Structures are given as structure tokens and as C-alpha cells.
Amino acid sequence: MLSERRLEVLRAIVQDYVGTEEPVGSKALTERHRLGVSPATVRNDMAVLEEEGYIAQPHTSAGRIPTDKGYRLFVDKLAGVKPLSVAERRAIQNFLDGAVDLDDVVGRTVRLLAQLTRQVAVVQYPSLTRSSVRHVELLSLAPARIMLVLITDTGRVEQRLIDCVAPVGETVLADLRARLNSRVVGRRFTDVPPLVQDLPESFEADDRPAVAGVLATLLETLVEEKEERIMLGGAANLTRFNHDFPLTIRPVLEALEEQMVLLKLLGEATDSTMTVRIGHENFHEGLNSTSVVAVGYGSGDEAVAKLGVVGPTRMDYPGTMGAVRAVARYVGQILAES
Amino acid sequence: MLSERRLEVLRAIVQDYVGTEEPVGSKALTERHRLGVSPATVRNDMAVLEEEGYIAQPHTSAGRIPTDKGYRLFVDKLAGVKPLSVAERRAIQNFLDGAVDLDDVVGRTVRLLAQLTRQVAVVQYPSLTRSSVRHVELLSLAPARIMLVLITDTGRVEQRLIDCVAPVGETVLADLRARLNSRVVGRRFTDVPPLVQDLPESFEADDRPAVAGVLATLLETLVEEKEERIMLGGAANLTRFNHDFPLTIRPVLEALEEQMVLLKLLGEATDSTMTVRIGHENFHEGLNSTSVVAVGYGSGDEAVAKLGVVGPTRMDYPGTMGAVRAVARYVGQILAES
DNA sequence: AGCTGGCACTCGAAACAGCGGAGTGCCAGG
DNA sequence: CCTGGCACTCCGCTGTTTCGAGTGCCAGCT
């Protein structure tokens, strides 16, 4: 276990490095922080911290920079979550309150988060799989063509076209619509399949193929993984670090274009605890010098989706975590209201 | 007017510069192109071209690079549109054919275009204002809450929530739905307003406020400008030019994040002619060293939206134009089918 | 035992000089 | 009007030097 003062030194190093973006030496440290000891002492502490793998020097006779392990310790033990100012909170609320539909909510959120943290923001659309059905509508567009519209409790709307082999009567459709809704409204998506399984049986033989088609499409829509859409914003913020990033920015941009990578990035946890993944803790090469701060958000207790930011490992963790958490909370509120 | 050979020299300069990304000198030109004259002659031609403002040298005793004006001449007079190979066309069709809904079509298109041109691709969602109504649906979510669903002929679906002051009966809703559809289905958005103006009058006085509310929301949805959404892809391609782009990439990324800028970028023309805007021809600073190649696409004769790419002024214009045009055509076909 | 001042050492960054070569403009001759 | 020749320019590369921040270590002090 490291002594109190050595932890203090590590904290100071992280803070200074995040601020100046330059390796920090023993002398500068004592000048900018009231450590109460001399540079020589700090040097000894630094030697220990380096031996333990918390900091490193880019080359001999340069200052130290934190390693991933160092940031990890900093985040876990040394840093709190910096709460936002009242003004900032108010600004968030005002900004999000103007949203008109789900797309707009997500769009505003991503811009807000990017602006607040000055980093790349990532917001996942409320996932279908964890939400429930508000309404199912069936429209007859043409005699043998039906449109299925699914409305979720998070305000999301999905629609699918269904082509039937034979025309379907208006009355049959109305019947199906009524029965379907009485069974599935308010239900979790995952609970729906068994509830509708026997529906075709209660229809005339002639209509069963059409009914089965509608059900198949509905179930397909419910499980559809591809619908885990994601919105991205603030990519321009990547260039803020370009003085040492010209090589790194490329793979990051590439990674960010892959939906799959983004989804994994936000993590799998379904609760609302914040996850911070630092540097090499990210599975994906090219994101090895970036950190991800993500948290779940949702209209109720349970998270229905995640949002977060991607930035250099050298980021202001307390501030970023504070912003991410605050935004997640407000988005949750907005969703609950709508 | 420039002589035939001088134009030929300009063409050679553009081609070489696009290929090598380095200023091109007289000697290299004569070696790589069969101009039939000596370097000295080419030098004279170059001097003239420079005087006329078509090319410039970054500094004395360096080769020449084309100016915006030079590219303009090249595009207008010297370059054709390079058609894609059969294999490429087939690949496009295969890739786009798998799309399941409008989001997917646009998503695939943007990825395709980015990959094909190795540049940043921009695709505008089919605009509401130029399309027509396929169907209007009214759902009663709660006694005093109605959802309006608008389906367009381009497959786009818009939904809006309407809160009424008093409950609205099912029969009234059905009545309104039927009348509304009989009047507006198949109509251009711009033609709709006068057609529904007198609808409230045919309802009981009690129901008129609700009917008016629905109509107001519908008309609002029809003209809503903000719905001119845009999808972006291939931002990572920006870094391909970073050897001289570290400063330029920043403002470009910033510009690309602004919906408004993107919309203007694609231009206002409603027909299907291709527009190429080169360097300073772009109104927006920060895009001064980029070119935009855009073209309209649509399900019928008329363009309902635009798509294009953004790249450095030093781009392969014939190839890019070919790809953009081909993709636009196929997307139009896909939309017409669905 | 732990802290401190002193000192020699290391090594990257910046400044500087010299060189080579690609490219130019110009001119005189075909 | 084209061409070969020639003197000139200036960028980019490389090697050298200098400068300074920072380090590790040690001896002495509390």
C-alpha cells in the first residue's frame, strides 16, 4: 500500500498532466501544489510510483506521465465526481426541454454532452429489448399490404411493411388489432412472444397466413438487434489533442464509425452505475489511448440505454463523470415525462 | 482562350497532382505524359497558365499546383464523368438491395458512398416538402391523446402526439381519418393545406377543437423544416490527407457537424444535375480547401433529396462524380420500388 | 528512518549551418 | 514557335552544437 503522501503526489501528477498536457517534473510539482516537501523527496516518491507502474517517463530525463494503471487508481480512489454548477444544470434542463420527439431528444443530448465535456459524445437510442409496448397499430395500405406500427413506452416508433399473399379484410384487421393490443400493451418485449403464439388459431383458416405474417413481423421487430442505433457527436473535439494525436486520431475515427464497436464500448451493464474504461482496458485496438466514460439512463429505475463520452486517457475524469451523470439523469426525466 | 496544348498541360498537371499529392514540375510532366514537346516549352505554357490564374507555385522553385480556378476549368471542360465498372455497379446494387427500411437505405448509401469514393459522404433524407402523402393514420392512445402517423410515398414515417382538451370519441376519430385520407392521399404536401381547411365545419361543434388540433399538427409536420435530416459517413477518410491537413481537418469536422451547413452544402437545386463546388466557391470558411460533389436523387423524375461527398479540392473529380451519380441513380430506383 | 540540498549526468528540443537537387526564368539559336 | 543550355533560387534533409529540464544518487541533517 502506498503512503498517503505518495497518493497525493500521484493525484498532483494526474491533475497537472491533464491540465498542461506535458510530462510533469518534480520541481514543477512542488511549485504548483502545497505538498510540504522538497523536490528531492518528491523524486523519491516518483521513483517508487514508477516502480509500481503508476507513472512512466516517455524517455530518460523527462517528466512523468500517468500510466493507465495510474489513472485507474486515480479514478477509483483519489477522484470524486465533480458536481455541475447550478447554472450548468439549469442550462442542461433548458436545452433538453425543447425536444419534440425521440430523435430530437437523442440529438440534443449528444450535442449537449459533446459541448459540456468537449469530447466525443455517444448516445444509444433507448433499446427495444428492455422497453415495453405502448401500442400496436395495423394499417391497410393496399388490399394485400399492411403496415405495422409499434410504439414503445420510451416514445420510439418502429414501422414495417408486410406483403400478404391474399387480401385481408378491414374487419379481420380490426379484430386482429384489438386482440393484439389487449394482450401486449404494457408488456415487456421479452414477454410478448408466448402471449401471441396462439392468436392465429382464433381466426378463420383463410386469414391465418396473414395473421401469422403479421405476428412474425412483430416478433422480428421486437428482437431486431440492428435497431440498437447510436448517435455520435463532437468528433471535431478529437482534434483538440492533435499535437500528439495525428496518428491516433485515425483509428479512433474509424472505430467510432462502427456501430458494433460503439455498442460494445458502452458496455453491457444494465444498471445505472457509471463505468470508466481506461486506455488498454478497451478491447479495441486504436482506442488504446482513449478512455470511455459511460452510464445507463432510463425513464424508470432500470436503464434502457447507455450514453457516454470518448476522450483521451488524459482527460478530466471528475468533470467528465459529473457531466455524464448529470446529463443521463435529465434525459431519464425527459423520457419519463413524454 | 487557351490553346489546345495548354489545356492539355493543365489536365496533366491536375491528374499528376491528384495522383502524387505533390507539386508537379515541367520535367516530370513530359516524362509521364506524351505531350510531344520539351520541358522548356511546357515551362512557357506553365508560365502562361500561372499568369491566367489556373495554377500556382507554393514557393519559388517548386512545381505547380492547380488553383481553384484551375480545377474549375478542369471539371467544366477537360474532364468527363468516369463511369463505374460493371463489377462496381453490381456491387452497389447488391449492397443497397438488402435494405429493410428508409433508415437502412440511407445508412447503407452513406457507407457505400464513403467506401467508393474514400471520402466523406453526405446523404439527405428524402425531404418531406417535395414528396406526397401515402397515408394518414390517427391512433387514440388515451381518451384525450391522439397520435398522428404520416406515411410518405418515399417510405418515410413521421409521428406526432396531440393532446386534446376534451376526450375524442372513436367514431369521430374514424370519421376524421376517413375524410382526411380521402382528401389528401396521393397529394403533394404543398397542395394539402387548402384541401383540409374546411374540414372542421363538417363536424359537431364539440369536436371541432380536436379536429382543428389534428389538422394544425398535420400541417405543421408537413412544413417542418427541421426534419431535413442528414446522415454522414466516412469521416475517417479525412485523415488520409493529414500530411498537410492537421490544421484543415479541424474546421472541416466542425462544419460537418452543423446540420445547417450540410444542408446548404448540398445546395438548393431541385433537379438532377450534378453540382461541383470547388474550394472557395464554398460559402463556408473552413471548407475553403474542400470540394463538394452533390446531386439530387428521387424515386421519380424529380429529386426529393440530395447526396454527395466532401473531399479535398485535390480529388479525383471524374471518378468521384461517376460514383456519386451512379449511387444516386440506384438509390432512386430502390426508393421507387419500396 | 526520513527529508533535504548538492552535484554530475542524460537526453530530447531547438537552433544553426551546409549541401543537394528539383525546378525555374531567360536567352540565343534552330 | 520550339528547344537546349545555363545560372539562380530555395526547400528539405542531415549533422552538429547548445541549452535546459529533469533525473538518480549521495552525504549530511533532523
* DSSP per position, A80-119: -PPPPPHHHHHHHHHHHHT--SHHHHHHHHHHHHHHHHTS
Q: Given CB atoms, is A188 within the 8 Å cutoff of chain B?
A: no
Average pLDDT over every residue of B202-229 = 81
A238 touches chain B (CB under 8 A): yes
pLDDT band, residue B246 (cuts 50/70/90): low
Q: What's the pLDDT tens digit per position in B126-176?
A: 876 677 888 888 877 778 888 888 888 777 778 788 888 888 888 888 889
pLDDT tier, A227 (very low <50, low <70, confident <90, very high otherwise):
low
- How close A236 gets to chain B, by Cα (Å)? 5
Specify the pLDDT at position A242: 54
Radius of gyration of chain A (CA): 26
Best mutation target among B151, B230, B337 (most A Cβ atoms within 10 Å) is B151
A195 CB below 7 A from strand C atoms: no
Q: What is the pTM for the complete model shown?
A: 0.81
Q: Which residues of chain A lie closer than 8 angstroms to B101, CB-CB?
A: 159-160
Supply the pLDDT for residue A225: 47
CA B216 to chain centroid: 30
pLDDT tens column, A21-69? 899 999 989 988 988 899 999 999 999 999 999 999 988 888 999 999 9
For residue B226, pLDDT beyond 70: no
Give tens-digit pLDDT for B21-34. Answer: 899 999 989 988 98
With a cut of 50, say whether residue A254 has pLDDT above it: yes
CB contact under 8 A, A160 and B242: no
Q: Which three cell numbers stand for residue B6?
A: 495548354
Nucleotide with the nearest C1' to B44 CA = C25
The pair phi, psi for residue B237, each rounded to 5°, is -65, -20
**Does residue B32 reach within 7 angstroms of strand D, measured from its CB?**
no
A141 touches chain B (CB under 8 A): yes
Evaluate whether B75 touches B291 at the Cβ level (below 8 Å).
no
**Single-letter code of the amino acid located at A198:** D
Partner A contacted by B244 (CB < 8 A): no
Give the gap in angstroms from C-alpha A239 to the nearest C-alpha of chain B. 6
pLDDT for A106: 92
Question: Which residues face B163 on adjacent strands?
Answer: B145
Contact A101 B160 (CB under 8 A): yes
Q: How far is A313 from chain B (nearest CA, A)?
A: 20
Burial B9-26 (b: 16+ CB within 10 A, else e): bbbbbbbbbbeeeebbbb
Residue A238 pLDDT grade (very low, low, confident, very high; cuts 50, 70, 90): confident
Residue B113 has pLDDT above 50, yes or no: yes
Whether B149 and chain A come into contact, CB under 8 Å, resolves to: yes
Q: C19 C1' – B81 CA distance, angstroms?
A: 46
The predicted structure's pLDDT at residue B170: 83
What angle is formed at CA B106 by the lines to CA B101 and CA B108, rounded to 5 degrees? 90
Give me the mean pLDDT over the A239-266 stretch. 78
Q: How far apart are the first and last CA of chain A?
A: 50
Mean pLDDT to the nearest integer, A145-165: 81
Give the list of residues 6+ apart from residue A279 with CB closer than 8 angstroms, or none.
A68, A71, A288, A289, A290, A291, A313
Nearest CA in chain B to A133: B141
Over residues B254-310, the pLDDT tens digits come to: 899 888 888 888 876 666 789 999 999 998 888 988 999 999 998 776 777 899 999
Q: Name the DSSP letter for residue A77.
A: I
pLDDT of A128 > 80? The answer is no
Are B103 and B316 in contact by the 8 Å Cβ rule? The answer is: no
- Write down the pLDDT at residue A34: 87
Nearest nucleotide to A26 (CA to C1') is: D22
Nucleotide nearest to B40 (CA to C1'): D3
How many angstroms away from the CA of A95 is the closest CA of chain B? 16
Interface contact A236-B257, CB threshold 8 A: yes
Is the CB of A254 inside 8 Å of chain B's CB atoms? Answer: yes
Choose the closest CB to B137 out of A139, A234, A249. Answer: A139
A62 CA, D21 C1': Å apart: 7
Contact B230, B124 (CB under 8 A): yes
User: In the predicted model, what is the mean pLDDT of chain A?
Assistant: 87
Q: Is B253 touching A (CB cutoff 8 A)?
A: yes
pLDDT at site A129: 67
pLDDT at residue A282 tops 70: yes
Strand C close to A171 by CB, under 7 A: no
A149 touches chain B (CB under 8 A): yes
Helices and strands, counts by H and E, chain B: 12, 10
- Asked if residue B109 has pLDDT above 90, the reply is yes
Can you read off the three cell numbers belonging to residue B19? 495522383
Listed in sequence order, the residues at least 6 apart from B108 whose beta carbon sits closer than 8 Å to its beta carbon are B95, B96, B98, B99
Does residue B217 lie within 7 Å of nucleic acid chain D, judged by its CB? no
Alpha helices in chain B (DSSP H): 4-20, 26-32, 39-52, 68-73, 86-97, 102-117, 170-184, 192-196, 208-223, 249-257, 259-266, 317-337
Q: Does B250 contact A235 at a Cβ distance shorter than 8 Å?
A: no
Asked if B238's CB is within 8 angstroms of A253's CB, the reply is: yes
Phi, psi of A67 (to 5 degrees): -90, 175
Give me the B residues in range 242-271 that sit within 7 A (CB) of strand C: none
pLDDT in tens, A259-271: 888 888 887 666 6
Statement: the CB of A47 is under 7 Å from strand C: no
Percent of chain B at pLDDT exceeding 70: 93
C-alpha cell at B243: 500530411
Contacts of A256 in chain B (CB under 8 A): 235
Comparing CA positions, the residue from B292, B329, B330 lying closest to residue B121 is B292
Instruction: Report yes or no: B303 and B280 within 8 Å, Cβ to Cβ.
Output: no
Lowest mean pLDDT among A137-146, A204-213, A230-239, B313-322: A137-146
What integer is the mean pLDDT of A231-235? 91
Residue A281 has pLDDT above 80, yes or no: yes
Cell of B226: 427541421
Residue B238 to residue A254, Cβ atoms within 8 A = no
Average pLDDT over residues A117-142: 84
pLDDT of residue B168: 85
Of B128, B24, B11, which Cα lies nearest the Cα of B70?
A: B11
Per-residue pLDDT tens digits for A165-201: 888 888 888 889 889 888 988 888 888 888 888 888 8
E strand segments, B223-283: 230-233, 275-278
Query: What is the sign of the dihedral through the CA atoms of B188, B190, B195 and B200?
Result: positive
Nearest to A319 by CA among A309, A329, A332: A309
In the block, residue with C-alpha cell 382464433 = A202
Q: What is the DSSP string of A147-168?
A: EEEEEETTS-EEEEEEE-SS--
Residue B225's pLDDT band, with cuts at 50, 70 and 90, is very low
How many beta carbons lie within 10 A of that of residue B34, not counting itself?
9
CA–CA distances in Å: residue B65 to residues A244, B3, B22: 29, 19, 8
> Is the CB of A175 within 7 Å of strand D?
no
For residue B243, give how far its alpha carbon lies from the nearest alpha carbon of chain A (Å): 9
A253 touches chain B (CB under 8 A): yes
A322: pLDDT strictly greater than 90: yes
Look up residue B104 and give its three cell numbers: 437502412
Tell me, in Å, how far CA of B51 is from C1' of D28? 78
Position A226 scores a pLDDT of 44
Q: Please, are residues A328 and A297 in contact by the beta-carbon 8 Å criterion?
A: yes
CA of A81 to C1' of D21 (A): 34
Q: Report the SS3 class of residue A308.
A: strand
Measure the CA–CA gap between A252 and A231, rounded to whole angstroms.
Answer: 16
Are A137 and B134 a contacting pair at CB < 8 A?
no
Q: B191 touching A, CB under 8 A?
A: no
Distance in angstroms (rounded) separating the CA atoms of residues A292 and A271: 17
pLDDT of residue A8: 94
| Local structure of B263: helix, strand or coil | helix
Provide mean pLDDT across the span B205-234.
82
* Residue B135: strand, helix, or coil: strand
Question: With contact defined as beta carbons under 8 Å apart, do B168 and B144 qualify?
Answer: yes
A271: left (phi over 0), alpha (psi -120 to 50) or beta: beta
SS3 of chain B: helix, strand, coil, percent, to 5: 50, 20, 30
Share of chain A above pLDDT 90, in %: 42
**A109 confidence band (pLDDT: 50, 70, 90):** very high
Long-range contacts of B168-175 (CB under 8 A, 24+ apart): B168/B140, B168/B143, B168/B144, B168/B207, B168/B210, B169/B207, B170/B140, B172/B203, B172/B204, B172/B207, B172/B210, B172/B211, B173/B138, B173/B140, B173/B146, B175/B203
The string of pLDDT tens digits covering residues B171-194 is: 888 889 888 888 988 888 888 888
pLDDT of A144 reads: 83
Beta carbons of B139 and A139 less than 8 Å apart: no
**A330: distance to nearest CA of chain B, Å?**
21
Q: CA B68, B71, B73, B76: dihedral to nearest 10 degrees?
A: -120
DSSP A168-216: --HHHHHHHHHHHHHHHTT-BGGGHHHHHTTGGGGS-GGGHHHHHHHHH
Contact A205, A212 (CB under 8 A): no
CA–C1' span, A60 to C21, in Å?
38
Q: Residue B246: its chain A contacts at CB < 8 A?
A: 242, 246
A160 DSSP β-pair partners: A148
C-alpha cell at A7: 497518493
